[in-house]
Amino acid sequence: MEVDIISRETIKPCSPTPLPLKTIKLSFLDQLIPPFYTPLILFYPAIGNNKVEINLFLSILKTSLSKALPRYYPLAGRISDHFSISCNDEGAFYSETRIHSRIHEFLESSNLESLNRLLPFQPFVKQLYPSVPQVAVQANIFECRGLAIGVCMLHKIIDAVTMSNFLTTWATIARGCAEEFHTDFHAGSSLFPPRDQLPDEYSSAMDKGWFMEGRYVTRRFVFDPKAIHILKDRARSENIANPTRYEVLSSFIWKHAMAASRAASKSPKLSVSIDSVDTRSRMEEPLSRNTIGNLLWSATSGFESARTEIGLSDLVTMTRESIRKINGNYFKTLQVDQGCSMIYNGIKLMLENFSQESPDSFGFSSWCNLGYRETDFGWGKPVWVGIWGGEASPFRNLVIFLETQSGLGIEAWMTLDEHILSALEGDDEFLAFTLPNPSIPSA
């Protein structure tokens, strides 16, 4: 796929950040996350009948981005250090490209290998602040006047909910709708103040937890409603009568990824499932969805794959129990000094595991029902939403769930070590429930 870069520029906020708001503290939860870009690509059919209309739409896209940035003023700034953001209005990165193909040809080909070329930056690569922008956009125009908006957002204070909020605000402004936008940039750092000092071994431990040696490849698997229904039936037990889609699919993938790893390496090892949990609704006093920041925590389950084969219902039970522990009482512990000790002990345990034989680590995150498929800039909702593709940076094994276009099925975007992925793609039972890289858009 030929991609010609037409322009690059910086989009500044349409109004300056007031002097009293020039510095924002990171929360302790923000501090725990390495800085890397999280991607998203929104695909739209023809946005105009001629070049004049296309240029008008692109102008609206840039103008509305400039108007959205003051409402999210920290995102127009730069990460100063490990403790704060300088809200200096340096702005967002913006580029435009021309794609020498038609959008329907690209979508029907299911060519994930080319997805990253529609993004302004390489996703999941550790960045060095303070030089990098927190918001980056690439507007890709196809020959048929179709449009793909590739977005990269720095994960340092932007989680999936924050990204959704920002895109919704930006799109609403682009449509010319007059709505009030209420955002809270301070609750996170107020509840979880930044720590002045972290253990010396912290950076090494986190890098080993997030970035691993190996060659990682991305595949997209789709679970249709029938497959999800059957797996739910299999996962039911006396402990859990009605498992959720997330519990069932994350456990099913974990189960088969463990087997694939064992087949690829010819040896069993500790396997860890890390579920990303949005803390907003789990606090003792729930936070608004418009609370900005990395308000995430990890629920961790482990299983020694040398043991007897474990059933799907058992993994579902383990997953639910680990997530259920992330509650108001848990966060009370984090909010006092002993919370540091608890986290440091976790880091120490991680280092001990990695100093022996690196365990298999599989991260799971759900982006379902966050509204990405509703992002309308004035020319309709996207016909498809992509995330990333092809070879990935040496990021840990990661699975992100996104609902299909109909909302009934689930897309599982999986970046796995190529040896694990190869063994997984030879797993007849796994393939019996999934459609690997099906045509786009999927039902």
Active site residues: 155, 376
Question: What SS3 state is found at 217?
Answer: strand
Residues ≥6 apart with Cβ < 8 Å to 177: none
**Which uninterrupted H or E stretch holds 221?**
strand 216-223
CA 381/CA 149 separation, integer angstroms: 12
Using alpha carbons, list the distances in angstroms from residue 423 to 128, 193, 261, 359, 416.
35, 44, 7, 18, 11
Dihedral of alpha carbons 168, 84, 399, 273, sign: negative
* Residue among 195, 139, 157, 175 nearest 75 (CA): 157
CA 104/CA 44 separation, integer angstroms: 10
* Residue among 286, 125, 306, 298 nearest 216 (CA): 125
CA 48/CA 145 separation, integer angstroms: 7
Tokens of 204: 């090494």
Q: What are phi and psi of 345, to 5 degrees?
A: -65, -35
CA R_g for the chain: 22
Q: Is the peptide bond before 34 cis (omega within 30 degrees of 0)?
A: no
Reported as half-sphere exposure (CB side, CA atoms, 13 A), residue 340 has a value of 13
CA 215/CA 385 separation, integer angstroms: 25
